[in-house]
Chains A and B, each alone.
Chain A
Amino acid sequence: MRFPIVPTLALVAILSGGRAAAEQRFPPPDFSPGYSLPVTEAQGAPARADARGYIDAAVLAGALALASYLALGRRSRRGLVLLGLGSLAYFGFYRHGCICPVGAVQNVVLAITDPGYALPLTAALFFALPLLFTLFFGRAFCAAVCPLGAVQDVVLASPVAVPGWLARALGLVPFVYLGAAVLLVATGSTFLICRYDPFVGFFRLSAGLDLTIYGAALLIIGVFVGRPYCRFLCPYGALLGLVSRLSWRRVTITPAECVRCRLCEDACPFGAITTPSPETPPARRAGKTALAVTLLALPLLMGLGALAGRALSPAFAHTHATIRLAERVWLEEAGEVEGTTDQSDAFRATGLALDDLYLAAGALRARFDTGTTILGVFAGLAAGATLLRVSLRRTRRDYEADPALCLACGRCYRYCPVETDRGKRHRKPREAAP
């Protein structure tokens, strides 16, 4: 008999009816002595050690400390540039941009919302360390540790100023992005920030077409607009911006007393330098009215946000695999679509009840309804807060770095004559320039 197994095959195929995982249809043979079973491929490979993650976390902590020292102590732009390139090389190209603090937000949220998920220590450190450093020393992380920031800093060749009003509005986007990312993690949909990380494809030297175009577009914009992702998209940057308002020490343009020479006015490619208040203050009454109106409008904005968020619930819900699966299966059952998909086939093969799938989808929808409403309120609050900040006047006497916008890159240092002066006094005098 040439094909002794063929009839058996047909029989087995009929009897098994699909669900037959790990079924011993053909008993393993009893070999004559001398044959030893080979080892399963990759079984001999050593387990992935945790050490790698701890090294990364240690490198992160070291880089943060160094960046803080370079930004605040040495006030060295060159040092920050070199550190940034080093971070780009290590966290970016060597470690392939994963895991990064920007994405670690999601791991933290997942650990809060999914009891089955254990937060790895590395992820916790990647999330917390930059925030803690920012709390004490300003955004040194953004300056020279974040590979996403570094790659944009590298391409920033001829910056043009983004008008303040536009930057103000676009500055809201990271908050909405953060809120959406949290919502999608909390509902178990996806890690939005990681999926749409624009530069991770460059770090891996491999990306899909869509992300390549997205990343390339950001880099091309980044030649002219300083760090577009950091300022107008980065959800972790939104958190750092909030935290940096409280920071203990932070980058100052001048190491000593500002002489108001105005030389640094155009120094910042990120629009973080605030000018002194005008000598003649505007009418106080008008300002107060605007402030009161904005305050009153805040609940209205939040309410509108809630309505808008609730209306987006089905759209957000469709990002969840279970909702999409339930819809697909329902459409198949209702005869509204032709054929089946891998997803629906896999679901049917599990033998689980359709009703349970629909009920699970229903429960998820309820979570999305709540979540999108909260997201809407949050977006309304963020918009209101921006309007409030616009309406609040605070007297500034000097040219200062706005704590929320300053990325501690140190570009402004050399524009300051006080700094130059101090530098001359500190260093040995060089031979006179021709």
Chain B
Amino acid sequence: MNPRGPSLFAALKSDARAAARTALVTGAFAAITAAALLAYHVRGSAEDFIDSAEIADLKSALAADPDNGALKIEIQERDLAIRRAYFAKLARLDRGIYLLLGGVLAFVGSLAWMAFARRAAPKPGAAEPTAAAEARATLSARWSVAALAVIAAGLGAAWAGRSDLAFLDRAVQAIEEAKAPPVLAPPEEIAKQWPRFRGPGGLGVSAYLNVPAEWNGASGAGILWKTPVPISSDNSPVVWGDRIFLSGATKKRREVYCFDAATGALLWTGKVERVPGSKDGPDDIMEDTGYAAPTVATCGRRVYAIFANADLAAFDFDGRRVWARNLGVPENNYGYAASLLVYRHLLIVSYDQAKPEDNKSRFLAFDIRNGKTVWDTVRPVAASWDTPIVITHAGVDQLITCSNPFVIAYAPDTGRELWRADCLNDDVAPSPVYAGGLVLAVNTGAQLSAIKPDGTGDVTKTHILWLAEDGLPDIASPAATDDYVYLLTTHGLLTCYETKTGKLLYEEDTDLSFNASPSIVGDKLYLISTKGVAIILRIGPTYEELGRSELGEGVHASPAFQDGRIYIRGKKHLYCIGAR
């Protein structure tokens, strides 16, 4: 046997202090190495090297100044330096880790030595286990399990509190809803409301005859309330029950407003932001059109809005966004302006743009429940600014659309074309109307055409009953009854034709300017000028003015008529005209 064995053993065993000192030194070494390694590790990551911001900046500088030779050299040098630094770091980390490993091993070894040197012979405890001690141990074990459960519950609650799956409830609910038949308001209910631009049929006809005919903005006479609208835009009010909806937009902000019909209070503002694929803008539109020219539409449960950047959004009546999508900014030199319309469960959007030969114009129908495209029809027409209407002629629903050069009727549920007439020209902004069984389409630069909507294919030569060329409007839409058609130009020329024959009955220059379309209330015609002067006249073969009322604020939007009330959007305020 090796005689030195026992003595070395004894020496190790006896020198506990040496063991402690060794442990201290090796421990300190390991700790310092670890700290250094850690500091080195966190300094600069692989991302800094792979996606070096410095190199990216230099490269974009070079793109701006492609012939800068010095810059090229700089990029090459910096690239090399960054690369070198990164790989040098990796190599150092590799070496450092082995150093650390060695240090830790030495430390653990010296700890073991220390433990070995300090190990004493086992000394049994003083007392044998007693029943009392055992009972105590049992009790404390129970309590510790309980304490652990409480701690786990606390941690669990903290963890659970940070996450919920409410989004999934809403997403799945929307899917279920889309599977179920749509919940739609009955037609007679829709007829009582003002759910879109120019009322239920889009014809500017009031369902109520008891609306006021006199008011004064300066004195407040006949005005129930007025309330400021956060963003001034030219779209018109839409009303459902006790809620009034408007939208407003700037280049960067897009908002939908809901006002209380009773008090005018702003109930909620729905912000249309962060729509997937959406961009701010566009830059090049006419100031007169603005970013929120299209009027919103409602189905009675939700309100839908579209903006100049083609953000299309649906809000429920409590202001929660239900869905939103971006259609891509249309090519439109004045700015997008066609208003929305809801037909059954379809939200119909005019997406006319560019020139006829570009084949970019489309009409789209979206499912109001989830915003999914139901049909998408390409049209051989140019950009347009008018709002389509849905008529029922001989029991068949037709979607009447106007754009240079065609009036086209589609089946509103499928987007299938029914007939077309080549009778328009230029930039079409006046919307079509339907009266006396005739579709009336008009634009400056073309003519007023009365079309019988019972043809198929191209009906230009067969179904245009009459044409007229006097007093053609460029913004305001016509208003028509079974007997009379009224055209109103921006410069204030009011022209009246006989619906059945197209016979010119009279022309009257009002000396005012108009953007708002005329409206029909029973046997009265309401015109509201850009300065806020309302002219009310008797519908008939001659010009018979019944009165004028001044709002005292400019008006570009068309009014909305309800039971005993008129809602008018001024440039800054929303007005409720009515008797107290």
Contact for B1 among A163, A173, A330, A431, CB less than 8 A: A431
Contact for B163 among A279, A281, A315, CB less than 8 A: A315
Q: Any chain B CB within 8 A of the CB of A265?
A: yes
B124 proximity list for chain A (CB < 8 A): 261-263, 265
Does the CB pair A281–B145 fall under 8 Å?
no
Q: Any chain A CB within 8 A of the CB of B8?
A: no
Contact with A along B174-196 (1 / 0, CB 8 A): 01001000000000000000000
Does the CB pair B159–A387 fall under 8 Å?
no
Does the CB pair A434–B163 fall under 8 Å?
no
How many angstroms from the CA of A339 to the CA of B273 in the assembled complex?
A: 11
B324 proximity list for chain A (CB < 8 A): 333-335
Interface residues of B in 71-124 (CB under 8 A from A): 94, 97-98, 101, 108, 111-112, 114-115, 118, 122, 124
- CB nearest neighbor in A for B170: A330
Q: Nearest-CB distance from A333 to chain B (Å)?
A: 6
A276 proximity list for chain B (CB < 8 A): 129
Q: Nearest-CB distance from B119 to chain A (Å)?
A: 10
B162 proximity list for chain A (CB < 8 A): 315
A361 proximity list for chain B (CB < 8 A): 168, 171
- CB nearest neighbor in A for B108: A155
Counting residue pairs across A and B whose Cβ atoms lie within 8 Å, the total is 161
B274 proximity list for chain A (CB < 8 A): 332, 335-339
Interface with B: A30-38, A135-143, A164-172, which one?
A: A164-172
How many angstroms from the CA of A431 to the CA of B6 in the assembled complex?
A: 11
Q: How many residues on the B side are at the interface (Cβ–Cβ under 8 A)?
A: 64
The interface centre, meaning the residue of B38, B163, B271 with most chain A CB atoms within 10 A of its CB, is: B163
Q: Given A158-B115, A169-B141, decide whether A315 and B6 contact each other with a Cβ distance below 8 A.
A: no
Does the CB pair A209–B41 fall under 8 Å?
yes
Q: Any chain B CB within 8 A of the CB of A264?
A: yes
Interface with B: A2-10, A41-49, A306-314, A401-409, which one?
A: A306-314
Does the CB pair B101–A205 fall under 8 Å?
yes
Q: Nearest-CB distance from A385 to chain B (Å)?
A: 10
B345 proximity list for chain A (CB < 8 A): none
Does the CB pair A314–B142 fall under 8 Å?
no
The interface centre, meaning the residue of A264, A278, A323, A340 with most chain B CB atoms within 10 A of its CB, is: A278
Q: Any chain A CB within 8 A of the CB of B396?
A: no
Q: How many residues on the A side are at the interface (Cβ–Cβ under 8 A)?
A: 74
Q: Any chain A CB within 8 A of the CB of B462?
A: no
Q: Any chain B CB within 8 A of the CB of A14?
A: no
Does the CB pair B1–A157 fall under 8 Å?
no
- CB nearest neighbor in B for A334: B321
Q: Any chain B CB within 8 A of the CB of A154?
A: yes
Contact for B122 among A267, A362, A391, A430, CB less than 8 A: A267
A158 proximity list for chain B (CB < 8 A): 111, 114-115, 118
Q: Any chain A CB within 8 A of the CB of B147?
A: yes
Does the CB pair A165–B122 fall under 8 Å?
no
Q: Nearest-CB distance from A420 to chain B (Å)?
A: 12
Q: Any chain B CB within 8 A of the CB of A365?
A: yes
Q: Given A154-B108, A157-B115, A390-B142, decide whether A331 and B167 contact each other with a Cβ distance below 8 A.
A: yes
B144 proximity list for chain A (CB < 8 A): 165-166, 168-169
How many angstroms from the CA of A340 to the CA of B277 in the assembled complex?
A: 10
How many angstroms from the CA of A379 to the CA of B6 in the assembled complex?
A: 54
- Lowest 9 A-B CB distances belong to which pairs? A157-B111, A262-B124, A335-B274, A169-B144, A165-B140, A358-B171, A169-B148, A165-B141, A282-B131
List 9 A–B pairs whose Cβ atoms lie within 8 Å, in order of A's numbering.
A157-B115, A158-B118, A311-B156, A315-B156, A323-B165, A331-B167, A333-B276, A339-B274, A355-B175
User: Which residue numbers of B lie inside 8 Å of A, CB to CB?
Assistant: 1, 6, 34, 38, 41-42, 94, 97-98, 101, 108, 111-112, 114-115, 118, 122, 124-125, 128-135, 137-138, 140-145, 147-149, 152-153, 156-157, 159-160, 162-165, 167-168, 170-172, 175, 178, 271-276, 321, 323-324
